[in-house]
Structure 1
Amino acid sequence: MAAQGKRSTPSASRLRRLVKPVLIIGVVLALLGVLLVAVLYKSIDVPNPNKDFETETTHVYYRGGKQEVGQFALQKRDRIPYSEMPQVVKDAVVAAEDRTFWTNGGIDLKGILRAALSNAKGNDTQGASTITQQYVKILYLSSEHSYKRKIKEAIVAKKINREMSKQEVLEGYLNTIYFGRGAYGIQAASASWFHEDAKDLNLRQGVMLASILNNPTLYNPDNGKANAAALLERMNRVLNGMVSMGKITRIEADEAGKQLPHFTANRSGSVFSGQRGHAMSLVKSELLRLGVATESEIDGGGLKVYTTLDKKVMKADEDAINEIRPKGLDQLHTAIANVEPGTGALRGFYGGQDYLKSQLNWALAGDKVGSSFKPFALAAGLEAGYSLKDTFDGNSPYYYNGQGTGAFVSNEDAGHDWGPVNLIKATEQSINSAFADLTMSIPDGPDKIRNTAYALGIPKATDKNSVNNMYKSPGLDAVSGIALGSATIAPVNMANAYASIANKGQAAKLYVIDKVVDRDGKVLYKHRTQTHEAIREDVAADVTYAMQQVIKSGTGTAAGALGRPAAGKTGTATSEDPNGGHDFTSSAWFVGFTPQLSTAVMYNRTGDRGQPLPLAGYISSEFGGHYPAMTWAAAMREALDGEPVLPLPPPAYVDGDAPESGHAPKPNKAPTCKSGQKPSVDDCVAPAKTATATATAKASKTATASPTPTQSPTKNVPPPKDPCNELLPPATCSPSPTDTTTASASPAGNGNGPPGP
């Protein structure tokens, strides 16, 4: 009996019926695709060379758009024939950018599909370009990121590949591609980086240039050690590619990849001298951070960048430094930053030494801020329900645990005892123990104080959206000593946070670029100011009032030389001696404002390796109430010359008893008696024998220990010091230097004192 064939199942039959139309549709679509490509290929001609290729330098303007800060690059171009280009450069560029260049058809279909899928998923735009495609984009097309341009780029590249030899394409590419430092083409790049003709480049030099052109920002060794390390890593990848292509030996690659070649310094001339270089560097960093332009577009895109910087304010800052800063002290660094209340606009700054001598901008880097941080603690206390009328422990030392052991803080003047002081007096005289007591009295005080600082404009250390990645506040931890200012904060941020107080508690984001337009006048970017309530208006008024007393009769009287209503705060910060000695003053501050302008001034000292060094003994006075306050007054006086004299708001005297505050009123505490003191309700409470008794005693309330808002306790208060300052008119004298902290552990060594303010 003959075997019967297998009968097809119903499911298999259905599958065949489905596959057939799918195949037909696929073939039709493929034919249509081929037809579309053929039509596009025939209809799209190779355009004339892009007239925009003749690049224009980007201009940066001061506020108002009439006066120029500077220009980014004077374009450097020199065309040379293919025969004068060294073979090592040709091989290195092919190995770096397109290893199939000599055999491909001008386009990379796999790369285009890979980039399309990546872009469709919302990832960063990918180029997926051959050398021919890159050349077409530079010479013939715009840098617009769109699928339409990519299709046109691919078709033109295909035509160029048929109409030009590979040598002609590579010659054109190497004469047009950007190598950083304003240099377009291999000849200009050779001169800029090595002061040599391209024909004389060696292997290591040629590979360095081939590596840089892939990303002239990331691989620019001028931008720092991290960039130099990234460049060396890419050079080794390129060298490995050359080995795999058979262009060099492994021995040659290993030798060339050991280090970067020696390259010449970036000589930008007077365009970047003085503070102008710091300003141009800041603007460039912001353009890159905002994604407004690439480095090549910044150097050669013909952009017009309108900044917030005011030439008058910038000059005022520099004039103040030249007038007040002691001469001939190379390790003394100075910085100023000016921010407009209500907008967050950076109106001016002084970054330190001439940019051509040092590229470190101290207005962005900052240092420990010391007692200039105390207004944020004051604001947090008032927001928490306390009042300027409430009193706090002004005696020294103050133990954070309230039991006379562990970590403590001392006042200046050998631990001077002020007795119970209200928050006006505590701010006026910068009394450390009172602010430590305030911190511990606020529920979750350290957290509340830190969050208030954040709200007012101090950036978090983890912030990524930061200008130049330097607007950060390392060390701003929620610890008991937070009010005393151990955090490192940039002057630009201190000025902006104080501007929020000046603006009735409304905070605005700090910015420096107002508008960017391209060569055709199209607006590429426009800043929009937005504000939010950081602290209540009545709280801002009370903080402002307390800060006015600092200038009128407290630690910052030298700032009174401004001659108009102002509020401010001194700050003198300490650092630990790395050799195990006593803490020393490392930076001194004065930060203050009028209704029109908020300004921060910082003096600090560092060694060759960036370690903090003592200010004491290096300058005649290391306190914030001395040089910083005088510099602040001089800068503000010139910057505000001709501006109307405006008043600051009167105090609101926020009532801690008000039900809307949400907190019970704080008991007025009398300080604990020190050894040898006779207990009295006017002076102190005798030390309790137990922790419970101590806590009860410290919480006792006495009417006689609570001064009025305009009075201060008279117990144990010495006559105010008034050492005349020879750098000011004889009638004006510097304040008592009472704004530093002496923080230490208990004698038994069982506690850790916080860093000084």
Structure 2
Amino acid sequence: MGRAEERRARQRGGRRAAPKRSSGAERTVGSPSVGGRAAARGRAAKNRKSGIRRFFTWKSVLGTLFGFVLLGMGAFVLLYLTTPIPAGNAAATLQSNVYKYSDGSILARTGEVNRENVDLAEVPKEVQHTFVAAENKTFYQDAGVDLKGTARGLLNTVSGKGAQGGSTITQQYVKNYYLNQNQTVTRKLKELVISLKLDRQKSKEYILAGYINTSYYGRGAYGIQAAAQAYYRKDAKDLTVEEGAYLAALLQAPSQYDWAVATGTGKKLVQNRWNYVLDNMVGQHWLDAGKRTAMKFPVPKAPKGAPGMEGQTGYLVDAANASLERQLVSQGTAASIGDAEALVKSGGWTITVNIDKKKQAELEQAVKDRLTSKLNPKKRSVDGDVQPGAVSVDPKTGRVLAMYGGVDYLKHFTNNATRRDYQPASTFKPLILAAAVDEQAKTQDDRAITANTIYDGTSGRPVKGSAIAFAPPNEDDQDYGDITVQKAMNQSVNSVFAQMGVDVGMDNVMKVAKDLGMDTKGMQAVPAQTLGSMGASPLEMAGVYATLDNHGRKVTPAIIKSAEHKDRTVTMPDPIGDQVISREAADTVTSVLTGVVDDGTAKVSVRDNPSRDGQQVAGKTGTSDNNKSAWFTGFTPDLVTSVGLFGENAKTHAQVTLQGATGLLPAPGRINGGGYPAQIWAAYTFEAMGEVTKFDLETTQGAAVQPTVSPTVTQSPTTSPSTTPTTQPPTTKPPTSAPATTPGTQPPTTKPPTSAPATTAPVTTPPITPRNPLDPNQGQ
């Protein structure tokens, strides 16, 4: 390279010219090489990156963040300076709530506030400490706010996750007395500012007194004085530490923790919180450890209903309130059930329920005619322990059309229609069959489970294939031998369904139960559940059977039609949900359950009822251990009703037997589901159902009035019969005579099916008469 070339190279940045290629045409003079273009792009990208780095240096990022912090601090200072402590509104904003029937007529008006303020000096010091121990252990030392909790709440509100706990007693008092329960960023910021100001201007004693006097404790009680009277029939000044700890624990979830209406889970939770409160007091040196060890949980007294809520009104209002409160929490309007209760109790609501006034009256009359008019507690003490409950649902819309909560809200506070502390017993059996069909389950010897599958119905027979031993007896220890699933359902044979549950898999059974609408939280998937040993309510069971009636599409019973308020919008969820089990499974169970009415445990009360008038009916009876509950849940194509009777000691409210009630039953005096519950159901349904209807079922299984000769082992098929007709015709001929005018006065008769014939198990002798599950004239 010459000197001139070297000089030019240095001018270009010290790079030597690229050597010429040994082959190929010479490049045109002035044309850049490929390497040159790449180098140019690299330099440009490097220059761009250098520019970005110069713009986003750590100093600039830190400066920006610092600027935002300063801006936020300035905004907060401005908010602090411009936000005064407002006048208290806890009493001034309370209004009436208006409740209406579905037709718009008035059901009730509520709004009278049960509150009586007391000076903090009237509340024992140790009782004061229970509230601090429950809600805010650092109350006496903090500045009135929990910055971490407030920041978390703000973040959750902005992100739409709802609210979380963590507020101080001062913040809760500000929310209760000066502001409201709305979950908005503006309200939370105001709460923070006012809490800081209040803590600077007022004493801790002033704030604590305000807090315990404005909080809502459930049972319509605002403030500690009203709560002391509502739960312990005493003044606040006479409360013990144990009682104060219970009232303090209540504030987290008043309805869920009210001992009178709490579920088993609710009772465990409130006891845990009660222990938490007392243990915190020991930790704060407010309570002697020895005294703490000797303390026992103070069970509250039974509640009394509010004036104006007599009869069924209070039950309906409470059920509507509970539904609205759950929705307020679900949509993020309220942080907790406790806050939602306060929102509802503050008033201003117009709540229209789905209750049909005519059907409501018919249900009440049916209970009176068939049961309560026969009860005489003065003559028989057990009669005072009988608690009826019932719910009626439209399976196509999910609307709760009628509800019976008890003889009188002012005499018995607990709503028997929504309580979940009694076993549904054999009304659970259809859910096992639903799981079997939906899961296409098979028996231990690999036979498909259908209405015609044969099981061993021996009483007390140990189940096979279970790691947990279980051998349930049948009612009255009756042996049935080899029996079809259809007849086992008709006669409610425990041993069959215990084995079926194991065959299906109890995990599958409980999953289907949950899908159908049962609350299975905390329930173990064990064989004992096949007997319906869990807790359930008539409302819950009505929803489960409504889902079956709705061909497997989920029905969640809805008590509220609409809820309106000037300050907030509430959209109630659609009661009709997704398909949760196959239509074939749902319709097969419905078909089988017609056999319970026509040839099973409900035939006397339902099949033979003169008001039936040819109406197709499906249903299931249930009688729990020791006769503590008795059920009938049944349905027509347009109406599902669940009726339960519960044995509850009139004084202690403990579960007791129903045996011997009314004095009209022969020995042993047991009240079965096929007795009073089925009678109430029939009296109500056949009055309220309207025109006679038929089920539209897509199944060829079940619904059979069984032959008089039970099948034997040699007659059982090696595999389950197909659900579709075979090429071989049935071995029997259906009778041609018409059904009797009065159901039950002569053997059931049939006519030839117009659709595919029902599948029956192959037999040798004797011939079995097939039954078309879609024909309403058969088996009545």
TM-score after normalising by structure 1? 0.65
Inter-CA distance 376–636: structure 2 relative to 1 (3 Å threshold): farther
- How far apart are 1:54 and its partner, in Å? 3.2
The RMSD of aligned alpha carbons is 5.8
Inter-CA distance 262–407: structure 2 relative to 1 (3 Å threshold): closer
Tell me, yes or no, if the aligned pair for 2:450 and 2:720 is still in contact at 8 Å: no
Inter-CA distance 47–342: structure 2 relative to 1 (3 Å threshold): same
- Structure 2 residue corresponding to 1:635, chosen from 684, 695, 698: 684
- How far apart are 1:342 and its partner, in Å? 0.9
- How far apart are 1:340 and its partner, in Å? 0.7
Matched, 1:349 2:384: no
2:570 is paired with a residue of what secondary structure? strand
Deviations 1:218-270 (A, max 9, x none): 66555554365245324414533653xxxx5747x836982466866533345
Give matches, 1:86-105, under 5 Å: 93=131, 97-98=135-136, 104-105=142-143
Matched, 1:149 2:203: no
Q: Which moved more, 1:445-454 or 1:301-310?
A: 445-454
- How far apart are 1:339 and its partner, in Å? 1.5
Matched, 1:126 2:164: yes
Matched, 1:647 2:686: no
Tell me, yes or no, if the aligned pair for 1:605 and 1:613 is still in contact at 8 Å: yes
Uncovered stretches (5+) of structure 1, i.e. residues with no partner: 1-13, 465-471, 578-584, 657-667, 675-683, 686-693, 713-719, 723-729, 737-757
Q: 1:408 & 1:231 partners in 2: Cα distance?
A: 37
Q: 1:574 & 1:276 partners in 2: Cα distance?
A: 29
Q: Which residue of 2 aligns with 1:499?
A: 546
Inter-CA distance 239–308: structure 2 relative to 1 (3 Å threshold): same
Q: 1:394 & 1:93 partners in 2: Cα distance?
A: 59
- Structure 1 residue corresponding to 2:305, chosen from 268, 279, 303: 268
- How far apart are 1:202 and its partner, in Å? 6.5
1:136 is paired with a residue of what secondary structure? helix
Q: 2:237 & 2:625 partners in 1: Cα distance?
A: 55
Matched, 1:361 2:361: no
Tell me, yes or no, if the aligned pair for 1:53 and 1:138 is still in contact at 8 Å: no
2:171 is paired with a residue of what secondary structure? helix
Q: Which residue of 1 aligns with 2:82?
A: 43
1:633 is paired with a residue of what secondary structure? helix
Uncovered stretches (5+) of structure 2, i.e. residues with no partner: 1-52, 335-339, 377-381, 442-446, 465-469, 748-780
Give matches, 1:276-295, under 5 Å: 276-290=313-327, 291=329, 294-295=340-341
2:617 is paired with a residue of what secondary structure? strand
Q: 1:671 & 1:300 partners in 2: Cα distance?
A: 64
Tell me, yes or no, if the aligned pair for 1:61 and 1:305 is still in contact at 8 Å: yes
Q: 1:93 & 1:650 partners in 2: Cα distance?
A: 59
Q: 2:107 & 2:100 partners in 1: Cα distance?
A: 4
Q: Which residue of 1 aligns with 2:102?
A: 63
2:355 is paired with a residue of what secondary structure? coil
- How far apart are 1:632 and its partner, in Å? 1.8
Q: Which moved more, 1:84-93 or 1:389-398?
A: 389-398
Q: Which residue of 2 aligns with 1:596?
A: 638
- Structure 2 residue corresponding to 1:232, chosen from 274, 281, 287: 274
- How far apart are 1:338 and its partner, in Å? 1.5
Give matches, 1:509-588, under 5 Å: 509-518=556-565, 520=566, 522-533=568-579, 556=603, 558-559=605-606, 560-569=609-618, 571=620
Letter in 2 for 1:267: K
Q: Which residue of 1 aligns with 2:778?
A: none
2:395 is paired with a residue of what secondary structure? coil
1:337 is paired with a residue of what secondary structure? strand
Tell me, yes or no, if the aligned pair for 1:550 and 1:556 is still in contact at 8 Å: yes
- How far apart are 1:140 and its partner, in Å? 2.8
- How far apart are 1:634 and its partner, in Å? 0.8
Matched, 1:308 2:354: yes
Tell me, yes or no, if the aligned pair for 1:309 and 1:346 is still in contact at 8 Å: yes
- How far apart are 1:698 and its partner, in Å? 11
- How far apart are 1:271 and its partner, in Å? 4.9
Inter-CA distance 606–569: structure 2 relative to 1 (3 Å threshold): farther
2:610 is paired with a residue of what secondary structure? helix
Inter-CA distance 566–176: structure 2 relative to 1 (3 Å threshold): same
Deviations 1:647-696 (A, max 9, x none): 3147777499xxxxxxxxxxx9x98769xxxxxxxxx66xxxxxxxx986
TM-score after normalising by structure 2? 0.63
* Larger relative contact order, structure 1 or 2 (CA cutoff 8 Å, min sep 6): 1
Letter in 2 for 1:297: L
Letter in 2 for 1:361: N
Percent identity, aligned pairs only, is 26
Give matches, 1:202-221, under 5 Å: 209=247, 212-213=250-251, 216-217=254-255, 220-221=258-259
Q: How many residues align?
A: 641
Inter-CA distance 195–136: structure 2 relative to 1 (3 Å threshold): same
Q: Which residue of 2 aligns with 1:54?
A: 93
Matched, 1:258 2:279: no
Inter-CA distance 411–711: structure 2 relative to 1 (3 Å threshold): farther
Deviations 1:486-536 (A, max 9, x none): 887644344334434544554423333333333x26332313133444667
Q: 1:206 & 1:435 partners in 2: Cα distance?
A: 49
Inter-CA distance 478–709: structure 2 relative to 1 (3 Å threshold): farther
Give matches, 1:393-404, under 5 Å: none
Inter-CA distance 171–388: structure 2 relative to 1 (3 Å threshold): closer
Inter-CA distance 218–505: structure 2 relative to 1 (3 Å threshold): closer
Letter in 2 for 1:144: N
Q: 2:614 & 2:219 partners in 1: Cα distance?
A: 47
Inter-CA distance 124–320: structure 2 relative to 1 (3 Å threshold): same
- How far apart are 1:320 and its partner, in Å? 1.8
Q: 2:172 & 2:593 partners in 1: Cα distance?
A: 59
Tell me, yes or no, if the aligned pair for 1:394 and 1:433 is still in contact at 8 Å: no
Letter in 2 for 1:430: N
Matched, 1:370 2:426: yes
- How far apart are 1:599 and its partner, in Å? 2.0
Q: 1:360 & 1:323 partners in 2: Cα distance?
A: 20
- How far apart are 1:590 and its partner, in Å? 4.0
Q: Which moved more, 1:132-141 or 1:615-624?
A: 615-624
Inter-CA distance 75–647: structure 2 relative to 1 (3 Å threshold): same
Q: 1:181 & 1:193 partners in 2: Cα distance?
A: 8
Tell me, yes or no, if the aligned pair for 1:203 and 1:256 is still in contact at 8 Å: no
Letter in 1 for 2:539: V
Q: Which moved more, 1:610-619 or 1:127-136?
A: 610-619
Q: 1:39 & 1:445 partners in 2: Cα distance?
A: 66
Tell me, yes or no, if the aligned pair for 1:409 and 1:432 is still in contact at 8 Å: no
Tell me, yes or no, if the aligned pair for 1:428 and 1:549 is still in contact at 8 Å: no
Q: 2:229 & 2:629 partners in 1: Cα distance?
A: 43
Inter-CA distance 36–351: structure 2 relative to 1 (3 Å threshold): closer
Q: Which residue of 1 aligns with 2:29?
A: none
1:56 is paired with a residue of what secondary structure? coil
Tell me, yes or no, if the aligned pair for 2:162 and 2:183 is still in contact at 8 Å: no
Q: Which residue of 1 aligns with 2:518?
A: 459
Letter in 2 for 1:140: Y
- How far apart are 1:598 and its partner, in Å? 1.6
Letter in 1 for 2:400: L
Q: Which moved more, 1:335-344 or 1:353-362?
A: 353-362
Q: 2:279 & 2:225 partners in 1: Cα distance?
A: 24
